[in-house]
Amino acid sequence: MDFKEYSVGQFDTEEQKKFRKEVSDWIDANINSTLAQSPEERGESADANLTESKAFGLKLAARGWLTPSWPKEYGGAGLSADQRHIIAEEVARRGINLPGHWANFQGGVPGPTLMKFGTDEQKKEWLPKISKGALFALGYTEPNAGTDLASLQMRAVPDGDDYIVNGQKMFSSGVHTADYHWILVRTNPTAPKHKGISLLMADLKSPGVTIQEMHTISGMKTHEIFYDNVRVPKKNRIGPEDGGWGITREALSTERVSVGASPWATKITEDLIKYAKETERDGKPLCKDPFVRQSLAQCTIEMNILRLMNARIGWLVDKGESPAWTGAASKVWEAEAGQRVANAGMQILGLSCQLEPTSKWAPLKGRVELGYREMVVRSFGGGSDEMMKSLIATIAMGLPREPQLAMPVKK
Amino acid sequence: MNFDFNDEQKMLKKGARDFFEKECPKSLVRQMAEDEKGNPAELWQKMAQLGWLGLMYPEKYGGSGGNMIDLIALEEEMGRACLPGAFFSTVLLGGLFILNSGSEEQKQDLLPRIADGKAIMTLALTETSGSYHAASIETKAVADKDDYIISGTKLYVPDALIADYIICIARTKKGTAPEDGITAFLVDRKAPGLKCTLLKTIAYDKLCEVVFDKVKVSKKNIVGKLDQAWGPLEQTLQQVRIARCAEMVGGAQKVLEMSADHTKERIVFDRALGSFPVIQHYIANMVMDIDGSRFLTYEAAWRFSEGMPCSKEIAMAKAWTSEAYRRVTATGHQIYGGIGFTVESDMHLYYRRAKAWEVTLGDGNFEREALAKELGM
């Protein structure tokens, strides 16, 4: 048993130390003054500084460092997994948010899926594109297909060498800045719904593609995207026709690179404790209020559990074991404990919790108010808590799955 | 990070699990619930022979020289088995207190006997207010030539009826702070004026009322320094909290496994109970509750075994695990429904212990307040 707190670079060998310094120096020489600021100064939302981080990402791409452990024939730098971790850690340590799948340094979902399921021609064409900075946005969710993704209705009808694609995707984040769309479409409307789905790569510059911004309550950017008779070449289909569902499920279990970026709720808990010590109400510091003490102590406990649950994933991966359901557990915990922290923070702030970040009276620069709105999405975005919990029960404890109806999709 | 026990600890754990499955069936647990003494003699001797009673004591005091991580490996299995008996009182509360603050003579006299299964000991701390704060200590010890005269009432003293020795925490002087002026006395249970009465409690864990009616104790039987027992007492309670958390983790894990098995076998509306998402979510919540309990407990135990400061970690572990184990047992009952509500079912054995152990040594509120202090609030 060992709970030594890992600090970045702590266990580096001499060779790794040298490489880390090389990476660190290069990054500092290649980021502009905005990215060189701390995350708090820069603005924490994921869309802040998109132009700057995209420009920086392309510089990484020029070195083969967007996909550093890919072979050079695919545009990577042929580096080891350790070296890839070092690059990822040095970027994350500076709080730089690379857009979309660039952040995992392995080509996100598209990279590994193409490696595993792509034809040789597809690998030759697409992997170098990804290495050089082609950005994919995921297109799964539709108005009637979120949690029940297999109900998706975006239709792809064969026409010569192409598919003609019609339909709509929602909550397609990153689509406004991406080059390609990674979409699940229906190629067989009469089969049981998950057996009639194909996986396509669409060029977002194609005629017939319309993007419309969706306005979320937290200001987080996302989009609706409409396909009106858009041509997508059949050679852009990954895997067999109607075989997209199985590929997607396998592709979703790619290795997570957990580089220890501190989640919002952990940081805000620390800041709230500091705030409670420095702020008086009714003649005494907030931190002397028994409710505040209990509440912030509980937040601290739950954030420590999150830290340890995330560390558990890293431990399993290092041992060469599959994280299996533990990623779902961490996701649920981050969402639910994070929401509890957000609400606790709002309660502690009292009336002032209402003030938006731009208000001169807003405590903690309005970050609790913003976080309270942002945290809403965490318990369903990227997989609802309900699905995650069923996954945990069935995989961790072997409970039987709920019987599925597996009907064809009604038109 | 490494969340695993080492090979020896895994062997100890497996050995303990197999041993308790054979030697501590639920029939024994139920029998001991009705028994006034509650410490099965044969089982106690076998545990002594296996070296488990002296697991944490140095070899020079008849122990095995094990560390806190070894102890929690064993504690998990004891919690899983609902092991009745005097381990908590004798080995932990009494024995660790002697180890932490006894004289060399006291250690040489008492610890080997505890390790050999030849002496039962307990600690009389809490009084009628049920508080763990020093200010609540009103039992007085008044100096009288070479002795002290102790008067007062202690409640919730585990195994006092069968103990050979009771360590009494009494006030010898009114100091500037409540912690100042508290002394520990090693009292022979047969001392005149000492009366023990078994209390009927939810977990049947042989908690007693112990009345000290002018009990005379030689000043030679002070454990540690006069007026300065509170520090070593706190130190001891911290260790016992870690051990108790591990016992709760073991019990909770068993409840989870029982509940999951039940949901696979029970058929409702023509399908397994566990195929309903509501039930799956109950199970998933249990898994995460236990993950948190386990990780916080392991980290506290590791830090303790490394000699690192761990007051924060112990407070977090006890606060969380106390409430998580309780939730797990309540959910277990909900999953079992009517059949779990009968005494023949095992679920209530865990439900009772979870609540008793939640409030013992510091419940969630107490520990969160301790954590708030540690965080500088």
Q: How far is B56 from chain A (nearest CA, A)?
A: 17
The domain over range B122-228 is classified in CATH as 3.40.50.10860: no
Residue A391 to residue A397: CA distance in whole angstroms: 10
What region does A282 belong to: left with phi over 0, alpha with psi -120 to 50, or beta? left
- Give per-residue pLDDT as tens, A317-327: 888 888 889 99
Average pLDDT over residues A35-54: 70
Of A94-108, A110-124, A279-293, B85-99, the poorest mean pLDDT is in A94-108
Residue B253 to residue B255: CA distance in whole angstroms: 5
Using the predicted structure, report yes or no on whether residue A262 has a pLDDT greater than 60.
no
Residue B72 to residue B297: CA distance in whole angstroms: 9
Residue B265 to residue B283: CA distance in whole angstroms: 15
Which residues of chain A are in CATH 1.20.140.10 domains? 264-396
Helices (H), B266-345: 277-305, 311-336
Strands (E), chain B: 121-124, 140-144, 147-158, 165-171, 182-188, 194-198, 207-218, 222-223, 267-268, 271-272
Residue A87 to residue A84: CA distance in whole angstroms: 5
| Active-site option among A22, A40, A73, A255 | A255
Taking contacts as CB-CB distances below 8 angstroms, the residues of chain B near A324 are: none
What superfamily does domain B231-374 belong to in CATH? Butyryl-CoA Dehydrogenase, subunit A, domain 3 (1.20.140.10)
Average pLDDT over residues B218-233: 98
Q: What is the structure's pLDDT at A320? A: 83
Helices B277-305, A290-318: inter-axial angle, 10-degree rounding: 90
Q: What is the structure's pLDDT at A221? A: 82
Amino acid at residue number B118: K
User: Is B6 within 8 Å of chain A by CB?
Assistant: yes
**pLDDT band, residue A66 (cuts 50/70/90):** very high
Q: Tell me how crowded residue B10 is: count the other CB atoms within 10 A of its CB.
A: 12
CB contact under 8 A, B302 and A293: no
Q: What is the structure's pLDDT at A41? A: 66
Average pLDDT over residues A155-173: 96
**pLDDT band, residue A79 (cuts 50/70/90):** very high
Q: Provide the CA B29 distance to its chain's centre, in angstroms.
A: 17
Average pLDDT over residues A173-202: 95
Q: What is the structure's pLDDT at A256? A: 41
In the block, residue with structure tokens 């990954």? A238
Which residues of chain A are in CATH 1.10.540.10 domains? 14-106+119-132
Instruction: Report chain B's mean pLDDT, rounded to a whole number.
Output: 98
Using the predicted structure, report yes or no on whether residue A173 has a pLDDT greater than 90.
no
**Cβ-based contacts under 8 A for chains A and B:** 149
Taking contacts as CB-CB distances below 8 angstroms, the residues of chain A near B296 are: 301, 304-305, 308
For residue A15, give every residue at least 6 positions away whose Cβ sits within 8 Å of its Cβ, in sequence order, or none.
none
Residue B243 to residue B232: CA distance in whole angstroms: 17
**pLDDT band, residue A261 (cuts 50/70/90):** very low
**Boundaries of every domain in chain B:** 7-119, 122-228, 231-374
Q: How far is B36 from chain A (nearest CA, A)?
A: 39
Amino acid at residue number B293: S
**pLDDT band, residue B110 (cuts 50/70/90):** very high
For residue A405, give every residue at least 6 positions away whose Cβ sits within 8 Å of its Cβ, in sequence order, or none.
none
User: Is B279 within 8 Å of chain A by CB?
Assistant: yes
Instruction: Establish whether A52 is a catalytic residue.
Output: no
User: Is B307 within 8 Å of chain A by CB?
Assistant: no
CATH code of domain A264-396: 1.20.140.10
Optimal mutation site among B70, B281, B369, interface A, most CBs of chain A within 10 A: B281
User: Is B242 within 8 Å of chain A by CB?
Assistant: no
Amino acid at residue number A346: M
Q: What is the structure's pLDDT at A48? A: 64
Q: Looking at the partner chain, which of B275, B315, B372 has a beta carbon nearest the beta carbon of A402?
A: B275
Q: Looking at the partner chain, which of A314, A399, A403 has a beta carbon nearest the beta carbon of B264?
A: A399
Residue B74 to residue B63: CA distance in whole angstroms: 15
Q: Tell me how crowded residue A249 is: count the other CB atoms within 10 A of its CB.
A: 10
DSSP class of A73:
G
**pLDDT band, residue A245 (cuts 50/70/90):** very high
Residue B64 to residue A389: CA distance in whole angstroms: 43
Average pLDDT over residues B55-64: 97
Q: How far is A385 from chain B (nearest CA, A)?
A: 9
Residue B140 to residue A170: CA distance in whole angstroms: 73
Q: Which CATH number fits domain B7-119: 3.40.50.2000, 3.40.430.10, 1.10.150.120, 1.10.540.10?
A: 1.10.540.10
CATH class of A14-106+119-132: mainly alpha
Q: Looking at the partner chain, which of A302, A305, A393 has a beta carbon nearest the beta carbon of B283?
A: A393
Residue, of A35 and B270, whose pLDDT is higher:
B270
Q: Looking at the partner chain, which of A276, A329, A402 has a beta carbon nearest the beta carbon of B377?
A: A276
Q: What is the structure's pLDDT at A49? A: 74
What are the residues facing B121 on neighbouring strands? B165
Q: What is the structure's pLDDT at A257? A: 38
Which residues of chain A are in CATH 2.40.110.10 domains? 136-251
What superfamily does domain A136-251 belong to in CATH? Butyryl-CoA Dehydrogenase, subunit A, domain 2 (2.40.110.10)
Q: How far is B318 from chain A (nearest CA, A)?
A: 10
CB contact under 8 A, B275 and A403: yes
